[in-house]
Amino acid sequence: MELKKFLNFSLIGVIGSILLILSEFFSWFSEHNLIELYVITTDVAIEDSFLFLFPLISGIICLVASCLVIYKFKLKIKSVIISFVGLGFLIIFFIDYISQEINFLLNAGVGVYLGIAGFLLNLISLINLLITIER
Amino acid sequence: MGVLKIDKKEIDVNNSRKQDIESSFYYALSHEIRRKIIKLIGDNEYTSFTNLKKELKVSTGTIYHHLDTLSELIEKQANKKYYLTELGIYAYNSLKDNIETMTSTDSEFKSPILKKLTHITLKRFIVFDKKDKKYSILLSISIIIAGTILCGLNEFYAFLFFFMDFNHRELETIIEFLIRISFILNFIILFFIIEGITRIFYKKKESSMNFFISFAIILFPLIFYLSIHLIFKFTNLVGISIFNFIDKIFMVFFQVWSLWLLSYSLSVNKGLKIERSLIISLLLHYGGFTIILFFLV
């Protein structure tokens, strides 16, 4: 019963995390997706090459956190804290990357929308989880 | 004069009635079996005598005795079932609330990782007694001074739990000064935002002074981050991709540690449930991010 009750909220988090992982494989502001950008920037030794992996890292961490709640609801607070870490990476990516590409915001690719949707779904899932516990 | 006498009498009667209700409320909650009866009825909306006997596993006489004592909190209706009165519902809610707060806080703070994090941050300075108060104040002042110096050396300005680079060559003197003391300003703004949220949304006005004194300790993990970044900066490691990556991992880790401390401090100083404290941290952190993004766009 407990699992059924909270499965929907957790599923929002899982879907959000999958969207974040998927966003890594779509273009954000250029023709290349983030994985390709990571390979290119690593080859030319640009200092922030790892930044392009942040949505993927964030998605994986949030996915682990969402699965943790599905596995055992008692681990809710740990799951929230792990999600904090995951979303922290995404926030840094947003701030660093979007500020660089601010002029191209109107020509944003699918990756941007997937990334923002994933971020919002994870946030809604977290707030829902915490509010549900309160009742 | 006659009217005044009647009014006085009425007030006395009202006061003694209030005291009677208060006494019966606390007396009713003082016994384990009576608390169980209230919880049984509250959980199921109503209950029968047979069910009470089955669940409580005590003699019929004992149950009748406790039901009599609970006369202000429960009532027997025509269908011979027991229901909670208005006061009973209040008692049930307060019992449930307290138990949830105690159990959730206890079990969550038992986690080994979280325990270690709070140990490193010296829990006794967040929840301090009279003896430790002066040490807490000293520690808080040291953290604020260290944060301000480290922010200046890193050429950062603080905004909530974030740090941004600033170019001081293009700024006016007064703005540059404000940016130099941004760690202190940020500390004050953060405190007032959180105090405001807890007062407006959760009606928690208690322990504001203690919360203020221990508030700088919440920013303690960020001092670690600023120190690490300074080391990277002076050793010219910031320009190297892998060290940039490590620097960002540290930033996230120390931010989350700070957020956890904030939640912990709200829980113990303001008496908020850990879930509510986490909601405040969540809103503050991501609200801050939205503001940054808004300014960037």
Taking contacts as CB-CB distances below 8 angstroms, the residues of chain B near A130 are 275-276, 278-279, 282
Domain B14-100 has CATH 3.40.50.2000: no
ipTM above 0.95, yes or no: no
- Chain A residues closer than 8 Å to B278 by CB: 77, 80, 130
Residues of B in contact with A98 (CB under 8 A): 293, 296-297
Q: Is the pTM of this model over 0.80?
A: no
Alpha carbons within 13 angstroms on the beta-carbon side of residue B239 total 3
Which of A41, A48, A130 shows the shortest C-beta gap to B279?
A: A130
Chain B's closest residue to A45, CA to CA, is: B241
Q: What is the pLDDT of residues A56-104, one digit of tens each?
A: 999 999 999 999 888 887 788 888 889 989 998 998 888 888 777 777 7
E strands in B17-161: 46-47, 74-76, 82-84, 156-159
CA dihedral A47, B256, A89, B250 (to 10 degrees): 20
- Do residues A58 and A90 touch, judged by C-beta distance below 8 A? yes
pLDDT at A5 over 60: no
Element (H, E) at B162: strand B162-165
Domain positions in chain B: 14-100, 112-296
Task: Report the alpha-carbon distance of residue B256 to residue B254 in Å, rounded.
Answer: 5
pLDDT single digits (tens) A15-59: 999 999 999 999 888 888 888 888 888 887 666 788 889 999 999
